[in-house]
Structure 1
């Protein structure tokens, strides 16, 4: 449970009471703060409401009345709930209530592990591989919500971002990262403009936004959803693989375990240009690694481990061609 200030607790209490009136609940419903945004700590958080028969998630964004952010996500959840009805093993969290004031909405709360919980912590490689297979199936269903398009691949923003990061890291990291960057630039020239699949995308498809239900996978947090290249959602999910221990021979040229990548594509069947995917995976791992070496960034213990793992995988990836 995360601590709330007096003002935050008063506001949260008012929100919970508003929802309680909507569902005609009697008495005081207990709640706790289970998430606070790192980048928007003062305005965005999620509460867990502990109702007598069911628990709910109450998502707050106090700036949303001006931006329309929560209203847009709630409307999308309504649409996706309907779109996913035809799928037996894929769905999204069900929306329950949108506050007329626009500062919060409520969905069902699902007390199930996330994909990240398993990828990070499981000692069973086969169990993890099945998570990748099921995640690929869920993403295939999301990317089928509307017809796909073709869009010319534009890698420049990725290489520009890497160059900017190289100027803000220690000298020894810059020396190691520069040959990797040059290799990516050569690949970018060959891939620029190649048609790739553009779809309706999650936009923030990391493993914490996909819950492992009993016989189903459940997506959440669609605030970044929009049309974009399908590979970007795929990269967001696959990159968590760096937390799996692996021998160099088990890792492919992207820095990802071959088996987990293959399992993801057992059920994800939209057309993907694999050379573009490989380029994007390598570029994303390199950006993440350099970001954690930024001279002004103080790493937590978790981030130090992630930085070490990213470095190991990148060295394998770029040794493999």
Structure 2
């Protein structure tokens, strides 16, 4: 295994990962020729991500360190479900290559390219907005064959948002989030009077889980995929950018990019009620459930506060 040497505090964990991989390779003929290259990420006691090669192909090895975790099998099942309709030339997912549940090991295609949000930051501002319809098209392609009409769940999402807001450590955001929560309490009964669309969706659809390569977008990190309201991943994508100060079109609505809202509304043929009530409600939920940790930089807190102010101003008009 080559690559940078991990910090001393991580060496023990790294050696355990390598030892576990060697065990898996000895026990699983499909891994006999697999090679590790570099430790990309380590969450001690939970999971590790490594690059390497599998049957001559560049691959990512995702190893779950909790023996009781069902995550590798669950993610494998979702990836193999989605792969037949998500292997297009322009909109696709990383190809699932192999799973060994006994050793908590998932092998997927290593995708060359740049995460979408990083890609947008490096573009000229005038060239950023065209990325939004492409991202919306990816999500629509992923959800299209599983969409159903389901019971509204606004009250459930309101509870999640309230519980998360109670843990917000930054006073500057606490004051704003109390206002957002009041709006959500007002809007939830209205949303629960409407039909909601659900689908098997990504589950963590932020822009850096889309990789830009040549003329294609490839989705990665499908471990959180589940049947959820279609509006949830739209809100996740838009709010991830909004709370970091990235408004690609330069025009904000509900604290996020207005053309981004338009892109998702168009891709999913949202009704006026979905676009103007349910999606803003879910944007408010998303603003609260992603809690900034106590040690985050002040600039991030400031940008999140500015986003919250724009969101509150527009929720006031509903």
Query: Would you call these one fold, judging by a TM-score over 0.5?
Result: yes
1:281 and 1:128 map into 2 onto residues whose CA distance is: 21
CA pair 176-142 structure 1, distance change in 2 beyond 3 A: closer
1:317 and 1:194 map into 2 onto residues whose CA distance is: 22
Give 1:62-211 correspondences, 5 Å limit: 62-64=65-67, 66-85=68-87, 87-99=88-100, 101-119=102-120, 121-146=121-146, 148-164=147-163, 165-166=165-166, 169=169, 173-211=173-211
CA pair 7-144 structure 1, distance change in 2 beyond 3 A: same
2:191 and 2:17 map into 1 onto residues whose CA distance is: 51
Q: Which residue of 2 aligns with 1:311?
A: 305
Q: Which residue of 1 aligns with 2:286?
A: 284
CA pair 171-256 structure 1, distance change in 2 beyond 3 A: closer
1:125 and 1:90 map into 2 onto residues whose CA distance is: 24
CA pair 177-91 structure 1, distance change in 2 beyond 3 A: closer
Name which of 35, 41, 58 aligns with 2:41: 35
Name which of 294, 298, 302 aligns with 2:294: 298
Stretches of structure 1 that go unaligned for 5 or more consecutive residues are: none
1:30 and 1:190 map into 2 onto residues whose CA distance is: 53
Give 1:5-24 correspondences, 5 Å limit: 5-15=11-21, 18=25, 22=30
2:176–2:308 contact (8 Å) kept in structure 1: no
Q: Which residue of 2 aligns with 1:231?
A: 231
2:170 and 2:13 map into 1 onto residues whose CA distance is: 42
1:34–1:48 contact (8 Å) kept in structure 2: yes
Deviates more, 1:132-141 or 1:161-170: 161-170
1:33 and 1:267 map into 2 onto residues whose CA distance is: 37
TM-score (norm 1): 0.81
1:58–1:104 contact (8 Å) kept in structure 2: yes
1:172 and 1:117 map into 2 onto residues whose CA distance is: 27
CA pair 251-67 structure 1, distance change in 2 beyond 3 A: same
SS at 1:221's partner residue? coil
1:60–1:103 contact (8 Å) kept in structure 2: yes
TM-score (norm 2): 0.82
CA pair 115-51 structure 1, distance change in 2 beyond 3 A: same
Whether 1:45 and 2:53 are equivalent positions in the alignment is no
